[in-house]
Every structure is written in structure tokens, then in C-alpha cells.
Amino acid sequence: MVKSKILLEESELPQAWYNILPDLPKPLEPFLHPATGKPISPDDLAPIFPRALIEQEVSMEQWIKIPDEVREIYKLWRPTPLHRALRLEEYLKTPARIYYKNESVSPPGSHKPNTAVAQAYYNKMEGVKRLATETGAGQWGSALSFGCDLFGLQCTVYMVKVSYEQKPYRKILMHVWGANVIPSPSNKTKAGRSILEKNPDSTGSLGIAISEAIEDAAIHDDTKYSLGSVLNHVILHQTVVGLETKKQLEKVGDYPDVIIGCVGGGSNFSGFSFPFVKDKLSGKKPHLRFIAVEPTACPTLTKGPYAYDFGDTAKLTPLLKMFTLGHDFVPPPIHSGGLRYHGDAPLLSLLCNEKVIEAQAYYQIPVFEAAAIFAHTEGILPAPETAHAIKAAIDEALECKKNREEKVIIFNFSGHGHFDLSAYEAYISKKLEDYEYPEEEIKRTLGYLPKVGV
């Protein structure tokens, strides 16, 4: 009998995170100081990050031990189940075997607490009293609020204004866990006030919210900054997802041909896929495919240049070599599918540029259609972000049907959609609009990218 759910025991929870840095096909380009344009030092990052996370950011150790305190909290929801999507396979009449790793079972409902708990722990160990961060739709903000609450830290979340207004329930969840949630841009910071002076009706962006959170951390001695995606240490913590998935597939004697995840900044896709990327880079599985899926409304990997750029609007972050739509990118308010960050993780960007990973962009209406199919067949309502991965998995499964191929397709179910019902209401009532980021805007962006010579 085919198993529909593959579980691990608590004792099988990974003991260490996997660090892909020493296995990359070429070295990662250095992060550059925003003022000097020179490679940053650990001391440059000390005002906003704890020392332990700075060390993880540059570590060349392949395995980094998960602290016992973090593993114990992980056990509240980890190991997470791996599902065989049998009803979806039957609906599609595909010979492909489709699996999904269910990260929606965490207390905040997504993959995000895998790094939120770790970051809260390391900050607590170094005497930090408060964390400042940004959030878009609220997945990261709610996860960090959860992590801070467990370790007795205060938490301030700058939430992109359009999401603050459109998605109140994640804001309420953050409040339950004790966070202070501020719509961004706000009048609380110099960066926010500057944006509001230029555009009092600004709907905000992740780049703006990051600027506010970094400024908040930089001017308060008891506060550090916390980021939910993009940076190396964030992806490191998320590899617990891919490591568990590998063990689960071994239990049923399977191995993927195609690995899929949605991409905003890149943390869920990278944490899920990098333990498998290791097999491709080593030559063990040369034909393994990886598909990073994004919206046409924010097509960083598919249309953005691979260049140095700031991670935020106010140019406070280090310069990162990544695929980018420009640090002044503001997503269209009509886009409901999430994944709205202007850039992608340097690690993911490098692997995409080296053609190890491929990228695909979708319009939002077909994405919501795929989400509805999944809800009808597998019973779980996916987050709109997660639905991008589902759309790609369905397309791959239909291609297998057409070609009569029995491939193994696996994707990361990065979060549920219980707090995204307003977006589903817009879809059901046919109020969603497809949007493609204009080519002329991408050309305009190129003129604002920083001129860098290392």
C-alpha cells in the first residue's frame, strides 16, 4: 500500500544545519560596505547582528550544530510530514509521483520559524533585549514574534502598509505573541519620514520596511535587526527542511527528479533544495532539476539583472550581488500573490546564474487556479506564495502525462493560506488582475543600480 504521509521520529530531527558555501561551484561575491564599496568586515555588521550569526554568515564549515535549545523548540512541530499527493496525482491523471513537504504545521503556519527561533536564541544568548524586523504579508513577522515570545525578547515589526491594511489577521497574530506592529512607511524613522514626504500615499515595500527596521536597530543599543530571508545564515537554518525531506524519501525508497519552491527572497526554496543541490554539484545526481518559481509582477530571477544592489530602499544594507529589480522597486498593490521582494538571496542568485537552478514566473490568476485545485484534491488551502510552487508542480506533472514519464516531483508547501482569505475572496469574485512588471521599468532600474568595482 502506498503511504500518503511519511513521518520521522523526534530522534531523527537533524543535529546540524547544512552550509552550502564550501560546496559552491565558484566563491560567493563579497558583501560590500554601503558607504565605501569595499568588502565588509564582521565588525561592520556588529551593530545590527549578533556575533554568532555573523560567524554563520561567512562560515566555511559544511555542518553547523543546531543548539539543543533550538532543537527542543523545533520539536513543537518538527519533524514536519512529507505527503504523497495521491489525490492530486489522480486528478491530473499523471504517471508522476508528487510529494510535498508540509511546513504549514508550524505554530505560525509557515517555514519561517525555522530561522526565527534560531535568530531569537542567538540574540538572547548575547544579551539583546529587542529585535526589529520587517514583514510583507506577515509570515515572517508572525514567526519572529513567536520566536521572540519564547525567549522573552521584545519584537518590533515594520509591516508593509498595503499588507497591514489588507491582511489584518497576521497582524493580530503578531499582537497575540506580544509584538509591536507598525505600518511602513511610518513616521517613526528617518527613512519612513523621507518616503512619506515624497509620497504621502505610499503603499510601502519590503525595501522600505527593511530600511526602517535597520535604522531602528542601529540607533538603539539594546536592539538588533533580524531578517527572514536572503542572507546566508537564514538559508542555513532553513536547510532543516531539505535534510528531513531526504530522510523521509529514503524511508520509501524514492528520490526526486524535479525539486520546486516559490521564491520571494529565497529562504524556503533554498533551505528545501540545497541539501539536494549538494548531490547535483558533487556529480551524484547530475540530471536533477531545480525550479525556482516567482510572480510575473516581481520577476527578479527571470527578468532582473545579476548585479550588486542594496537590500533596502534607503541604502543602509550592504551591497549584495544578486538578481534584482532595483532597491526602489514598489510592487503593484493589485498583486495578491506575495513574493514581492526586489532581490534574491546571493546564494540562490549565484546558482541561478551558474545554471544549476532554473527560474519560472507565473501570472497570479493561474496560480490561484492551481491553489484551488490543490485545496479540492489534497484538502489544504495553500498560501498564495506556496501556490506558485503548486502551479509549477502541476505543469511538470502534466508534462509527464504528455510524455508518459514516471518522474518524481517534490515541492515545499511553505505555508497555509488561512490568513489570506481576502486574496481568495478576490479570486473567487474575479477581482484579481494579472500583471506583468513592465520591461521599461526594468530598464529604468538599471540606471539606478550602484556602480561597483571590487
Task: Give the CB-side neighbour count of residue 356, counting CA atoms within 13 A.
Answer: 22
Q: What percent of the chain has pLDDT over 70?
A: 98
What pLDDT shows up at residue 336? 62
Q: Which residue, among 97, 67, 68, has the nearest Cα to 82 in the 3D structure?
A: 97
71 vs 334, residue with greater confidence: 71
Contact 234, 57 (CB under 8 A): no
236 — alpha (psi -120 to 50), left (phi > 0) or beta? Answer: alpha
What pLDDT shows up at residue 61? 98
Question: Where is average pLDDT lowest: 251-255, 319-323, 431-435?
Answer: 431-435
Q: Which CATH number fits domain 5-9+68-109+233-438: 3.40.50.1100, 3.30.70.100, 3.20.20.70, 3.40.109.10?
A: 3.40.50.1100
Calculate mean pLDDT across residues 11-30.
97
What pLDDT shows up at residue 337? 64
How do residues 75-132 score in pLDDT, each as one tens digit? Answer: 999 999 999 999 999 999 999 999 999 999 999 999 999 999 999 999 999 999 999 9
Calculate mean pLDDT across residues 227-251.
97
Calculate mean pLDDT across residues 316-332.
87
DSSP state, 30? P
Edge-to-edge strands, sheet with 130-135: 180-184, 154-160, 130-135, 223-225
What pLDDT shows up at residue 18? 98
What pLDDT shows up at residue 28? 96
Question: Where is average pLDDT lowest: 137-151, 270-284, 312-326, 440-454?
Answer: 440-454
How do residues 44-62 score in pLDDT, each as one tens digit? Answer: 999 999 999 999 999 999 9
What pLDDT shows up at residue 340? 76
Contact 133, 156 (CB under 8 A): yes
First to last CA, the chain: 58
Tell me the three cell numbers of residue 85: 499527493
| Rounded-to-integer distance, Cα 137 and Cα 37, Å | 32
Calculate mean pLDDT across residues 4-15.
97
Rounded mean pLDDT of the chain? 94
Count Cβ atoms within 10 A of the Cβ of residue 87 and give its class: 0-12 exposed, 13-18 middle, 19 or more buried: middle
Q: Which residue, among 338, 330, 439, has the nearest Cα to 386 in the 3D structure?
A: 338
pLDDT at 334 over 60: no
What pLDDT shows up at residue 316? 85
Calculate mean pLDDT across residues 256-267.
97
- The band of 329, judged by pLDDT with boundaries at 50, 70 and 90, is confident
What pLDDT shows up at residue 339? 80
Contact 223, 216 (CB under 8 A): yes
Domain boundaries, the chain: 5-9+68-109+233-438
What pLDDT shows up at residue 453? 64
Contact 126, 50 (CB under 8 A): yes
